[in-house]
Amino acid sequence: MQAVILVGGEGTRLRPLTSTVPKPVVPLVDRPFIAYMLEWLRRHGVDDVVMSCGFLAAGVRNVLGDGAAYGIQLRYVEEPRPLGTGGAVKFAESLLDERFLMLNGDVLTDLDLSAQVAQHEASGARGTLALIGVEDPSAYGLVRLRDDSSVREFLEKPSPDQIDTNLISAGAYVLERDVLDLIPSGQACSIEREVFPRLVGDGLYGFVGDGYWLDIGTPDRYLQATFDILERNVQTAAGERLGAGFLAVDAGAESQGRTIPPALVGPGCRIGAGARIGALAVLAPDVSVGPRTEIEQSVVLRGADVGADCRLSYCIVGAGARIGDRTHVEGGAVLGEGVSIGADNVIAAGARIFPGVTLPDGAISF
């Protein structure tokens, strides 16, 4: 089975994490984010994946290579300019089979793709959309189905009196190649807004899935995905690595402190005396944590250096960042790659510090 993954966006809502790293390869727990999708696809028999890239495309290729590490063939196309979801898949047309999966590359999920494909085949559909029920449907475009699972109608931004379903698109589609005939070549086009409505009543079906689904588009959702992987709320190889104890501390890490599950500590990490890591914490490789520092509900990326007597709570610290003694980073704050924060600062309230910024001792107290 073949899939095309759309990864052309700039990931602006995730900045500063995506200021220097393409969103598909931003680290999530212990691997590039898009690796979760590749592993999910492989579990459902996909062995050929086309990556439709745009922003920082070379960075994606450099990290993922030819796909051998994931047991699949990876090929790449690079949009000359942003073409939208429809234009992007049309641009990859020469590489696509008679039937293929089209996927939004922003999603972490364990939905049953095999069941979706089986329903597609049984119904003789031209397109089958994976749908997921959400608790609060008011913030989404909704999909109404007929009794035979064919799509009856799309509702964009429905008013409260229009909400009679909680089904939204999960960003995973099984498509027959002839759907591409409805997309103009070389033009920007949204497959969701311009193509799928034309297929209503003409072979478009919905597959109602259950399981885990999260669109990772913001720092809050990035952290939520991290916690859900650590707590094994979603089926992933990273979660399996934690085992029944919900804890993975690499043998190459040196610790004089405590690590409280669920948590993951990577190779080369150094944790000072009296420090506490967890619960719900990830230290990427080569992170240094000073004595008596506490880190919980947080992600600290490769090579960051956190001083003594610090407190990190519900935050993200970029690769190579430096945090001085007695500094607090909390409340959804995000430090970009290479940021340097001096001693006795408080970074909170969702603050985003962009790559390369240096703040002296005592500069900020939110």
% of the chain with per-residue pLDDT over 90: 70
pLDDT digits (tens, 9 = 90+) for 110-133: 999 999 999 999 999 999 999 999
Characterize the bridge pairing of strands 142-145 and 151-155: antiparallel
Domain ranges of the chain: 2-215, 243-359
pLDDT at 271: 98
- 243-359 placed in CATH 2.60.40.10: no
Residues 6+ apart with CB under 8 A from 45: 1, 114
pLDDT at 11: 67
- 65 by Cβ neighbours in 10 Å (0-12 / 13-18 / 19+) ranks as exposed
Superfamily of domain 2-215: Spore Coat Polysaccharide Biosynthesis Protein SpsA; Chain A (3.90.550.10)
pLDDT at 141: 83
pLDDT digits (tens, 9 = 90+) for 220-246: 999 999 999 999 999 998 988 898 899
- Taking a C-beta distance cutoff of 8 angstroms, is the pair 103, 4 a contact? yes
Question: Nearest 5°: phi and psi at 312?
Answer: -115, 120
Which DSSP string corresponds to 139-181? Answer: GS-EEEE-TTSBEEEEESS--GGG----EEEEEEEEEEGGGGG
Reply yes or no on whether the pLDDT at 159 is more than 80: no
Reply yes or no on whether the pLDDT at 58 is more than 80: no
Residues 6+ apart with CB under 8 A from 69: none
Euclidean distance between CA atoms 89 and 299, whole angstroms: 34
pLDDT digits (tens, 9 = 90+) for 303-360: 999 999 999 999 999 999 999 999 999 999 999 999 999 999 999 989 999 998 999 9
Reply yes or no on whether the pLDDT at 366 is more than 70: no
Q: Which helix (H) or strand (E) holds 254?
A: strand 254-255
Residues annotated as catalytic (active site), given as ranges: 157
Whether 2-215 and 243-359 share one fold: the answer is no
Cα radius of gyration rounded to whole Å, the chain: 22
Q: What long-range pairs does 338-344 form, CB within 8 A, spacing at least 24?
A: 343/307
Q: Structure pTM? A: 0.91
Q: What is the mean predicted confidence (pLDDT) over 134-160?
A: 85
Question: Nearest 5°: phi and psi at 224?
Answer: -60, -40
Characterize the bridge pairing of strands 48-53 and 2-7: parallel
Residues 6+ apart with CB under 8 A from 294: 275, 276, 310, 311, 312, 313
Mean pLDDT estimate for the chain: 92
pLDDT digits (tens, 9 = 90+) for 63-108: 888 888 889 999 998 888 888 999 999 999 999 989 999 999 889 9
Helix (H, G, I), strand (E, B) or coil at 301: coil
